[in-house]
A and B are shown apart, each in its own frame.
Chain A
Amino acid sequence: MSTLTIDRLTVGHGDGAPVLDGLSLEVPDGALVALLGANGAGKTTLLRALVGLLPARAGRVLLDGADLSAMSTEDRVRRGLALVPEGRSVVVELTVAENLRLGALRQAGRPRRGPAVDAAVAEMYELFEPLARRRDAAGHTLSGGERQMLALARALVSRPDVLLLDEPSLGLAPLVVARLLGVLRDQAEATGLTVLLAEQNVTSALSVAERGVVLSLGEVVADRPAAELAADPALRHAYLGF
């Protein structure tokens, strides 16, 4: 699939001081990397800049060596990037099933309906049982957690090469978080899906990630094997505050 390379990326809001200042990071093909750090460290800003929702002041974003920096968000998505932002954004007028099928619309040249899409949708119903139960319900009738599941499932239906997740565990039951992270890890291993997972739920994220990258004030302050970060109380205390 795809290697995501972030090369000296500088991003800021308005004229203020940069939120990310010359940040470099590589997420190799098929890797699952946890992006950690306190609120305000720059995790969401990084994810939004990667898909072009925030302009970079300097630096580059590369996918398998191809520079995406000048591309629109739509083109980056067509190249295989998918972002599930915070905020549970689903189309509230459409049903659960219709929202899921929107995920199949991302790329020209890929089937938008038919057996492959049906199989992807069925897989999501298996993963997120409440969505199966409520497949004909309109988005506005879903609970907060169900909306979060739907946003995630729609991104997975799009079969991205690189999946960027902004706090997917927010509002989800522990059982669902465990299942979701298990699926991400398995897809990374089996299909080479590349995942950058921003999480406050550090323990869960490190339990499935290979690496943990800790941001603080817009800089990478630690980049270690996940098991090492999870097991070392001094590291956790220094970088993650617990």
Chain B
Amino acid sequence: MTTTGSTADGPPRLEVAGLTVTFGGLTALDDVGFTVADGETVALIGPNGAGKTTVFNAVCGLVRTRRGEVRVGGEPAPPSATGLLRAGVSRTLQGLGLFDRLTVLENVLVPLSGTRLTGDHLAAAHEVLAALGLGAVAAVRAGALPYPERKRVALARALVTRPRLLLLDEPAGGLGAADIDQLARTVRTVADGGCAVLLVEHHVDFVTDVADRVVVLDLGRVIACGTPGEVRRDPAVEEAYLGVPAGEVRP
């Protein structure tokens, strides 16, 4: 079993151990292990098709695991969406998955819709919208917003439940420099509040900026783990993932 990463006192918020997932003849994840502690930000990077989103899907019970286990707060990860919500797990999606015809506020209230909406829920939604600079567009249809704001709505929807484990799938993808800076501030604030953050991302500078540790996947296996600086200097990571700057490439 491959296990990487340190743990804080008590069980880590997320522990993935020996995780193996196959799709037909394809081994998508092969004996993957790592942990994320409360207040820690871990980035999962690697080539396209390495299995990064499959890790998220395994944590959320959306794919059947062949071997291994996922533990949240020391307990086996609940298999249902409502169970995950109760265990304090939230995630965003690569494709955002917003309800374009609903308003921003309605989108953010969706994770709370399984319970009777109270004034506290509305207050929590308005609070997270204000924190992400979306207060002025709360009543606007999500589909009418530009892409960076749509991404923030998706983030707000993940944060409204006050998660203890936040999974972010390519949060910086498609954003410009100013929006990425704002996102980095948000992620740091969330982690400083004690939430464990696991993010999949290709924007290496953003990863270096926000991650405490980086886990590198290639072909479904962990090939490196360490601080952003250690991982960027790792020759195996350079060969499999980083390459050289575009201006130097001569195929």
Enumerate chain A interface residues (CB-CB to B < 8 A).
38-40, 86, 127, 130, 133-134, 137, 141-146, 148-149, 167, 170-179, 181-183, 186, 200, 202, 204, 207-208, 240-242
| B54: nearest chain-A partner, CB-CB | A143
Given contacts A39-B175, A241-B177, 20 further A-B contacts (CB under 8 A): A38-B176, A39-B146, A134-B26, A142-B49, A144-B94, A144-B95, A145-B202, A172-B202, A173-B48, A174-B204, A174-B242, A175-B243, A179-B251, A183-B251, A186-B251, A200-B174, A207-B247, A208-B246, A240-B177, A242-B178
CA distance A175 to B236 in the complex (A): 13
Query: In the complex, which residue of chain B has the Cβ closest to the Cβ of A36?
Result: B176
| Alpha-carbon separation in the docked complex, A144 to B147 (Å) | 18
Closest 8 pairs between A and B when the two form their complex, measured CB to CB: A145-B48, A175-B243, A182-B249, A242-B177, A207-B247, A178-B246, A40-B146, A181-B246
Asked whether A141 and B250 contact (CB < 8 A) given A86-B174, A146-B49, A242-B178, the answer is no
**Which B198-251 residues have a C-beta within 8 angstroms of A?**
202, 204, 240-251
Partner of B48, one of A146, A167, A200, A207: A146
Chain A residues with CB below 8 A from B177, complex form: 202, 240-242
On whether the beta carbons of B49 and A143 are closer than 8 Å, the reply is yes
Specify which of A134, A142, A167, A178 lies most central, judged by the most chain B CB atoms within 10 Å of its CB: A178
Closest-by-CB residue of B relative to A127 is: B251
Point out the residues of chain B lying under 8 angstroms from A173, CB to CB: 46-48, 202, 241
Measured between alpha carbons, how far is A127 from B204 in the docked complex, in Å?
Answer: 21
Residue of A nearest to B248 (CB): A178
With A39-B147, A171-B94 already in contact, the answer to whether A208 and B241 are too (CB < 8 A) is no
User: Bound complex: CA of A92 vs CA of B24, how far in Å?
Assistant: 17
Would you list which residues of chain B between 175 and 207 have a CB under 8 Å from chain A?
175-179, 202, 204
Smallest beta-carbon distance A198→chain B, Å:
11
- The reply to whether B48 and A174 form a contact with Cβ atoms under 8 Å apart is no
**Once the chains bind, are B251 and A143 in contact (CB under 8 Å)?**
no
Instruction: Say whether A178 contacts B244, CB under 8 Å.
Output: yes
Residues in B9-34 with C-beta less than 8 Å from chain A: 23, 26
**Contact residues, B41-80 vs A (CB, 8 A):** 46-49, 52-53
B23 touches A141 (CB 8 A): yes
A143 touches B174 (CB 8 A): no
Q: How far is the CA of A189 from the CA of B175 in the complex (A)?
A: 30
**Size of interface on B: residues with Cβ below 8 Å to A:** 35
A124 CB, nearest partner CB in chain B, Å = 13
Interfacial chain A residues near B242, Cβ < 8 Å: 174-175
Interface residues of B in 158-184 (CB under 8 A from A): 170, 173-179
Chain B residues positioned under 8 Å from A204 (CB to CB): 245-246
**Inter-chain contacts of B49 with A (CB < 8 A):** 130, 133-134, 142-143, 145-146
CB of B245, distance to nearest CB on chain A (Å) = 6
Q: What's the nearest-Cβ distance from chain A to residue B240, in Å?
A: 7
Q: A38-B176, A130-B47 are in contact. Are A174 and B251 (CB under 8 A)?
A: no
Is the C-beta of B148 less than 8 angstroms from some C-beta in chain A?
A: yes
How far is A94 from B134 in the complex, measured between Cα atoms in Å?
40
* A178 to B240 alpha-carbon distance, docked (Å): 13
Decide if A208 touches B202 in the complex (CB within 8 Å).
no
Q: Which residue of B lies closest to A141 (CB)?
A: B23
Chain B's closest residue to A134 (CB) is B49
Provide a sorted-by-A list of 20 A–B residue pairs whose CB atoms are within 8 angstroms.
A39-B179, A127-B251, A130-B49, A146-B48, A171-B170, A171-B173, A174-B202, A174-B204, A174-B241, A174-B242, A175-B242, A175-B243, A176-B48, A178-B245, A178-B246, A179-B249, A181-B249, A208-B247, A241-B177, A241-B178
Tell whether, in the assembled complex, residue B170 and residue A175 are in contact, meaning their CB atoms are under 8 Å apart: no
- Cβ of A39 and Cβ of B48 under 8 Å apart? no
Q: How far is the CB of A217 from chain B (nearest CB, A)?
A: 12
